[in-house]
Amino acid sequence: MGRAKRRGWTVAHVGKGFVGGSGGQFVTPMPAGWPDLFLLNRDVAPYRMALELKRELGVVDEKQWFWIELMKDCGIAAHIIRPSDIRSGFVNRLLEGR
């Protein structure tokens, strides 16, 4: 998130919140599978981007693939991001519109 914000992106993080006190549960306001980050930037094409963050060997489930593919079909850049994508410079290139 910091990397994106430093490059002028507005970032919405879809995290889980805990509700209901000691007997509560984790909930998210978005549908199951919605990407972790949604980014907007008027100055950098593609202007809008969704990122699903995964551990290096983490599995992308069916619901996550649904949202990634739907967003792509609707003209939104959507990517699965792993730690190796940061190390390789791929994430910086995305955020800089390259």
Per-residue pLDDT reduced to its tens digit, 35-44? 999 999 999 9
Q: Read off the pTM.
A: 0.84
* DSSP character string of 58-90: PPPPHHHHHHHHHHHHTT-EEEEE-HHHHHTTH
Backbone angles phi, psi at 20, to 5 degrees: 95, 20
d(CA 32, CA 11): 19
The H helix count followed by the E strand count for the chain is: 4, 6
Per-residue model confidence (pLDDT) at position 32: 86
- pLDDT confidence of residue 31: 81
Domains along the sequence of the chain with CATH: 2-95 (3.40.1350)
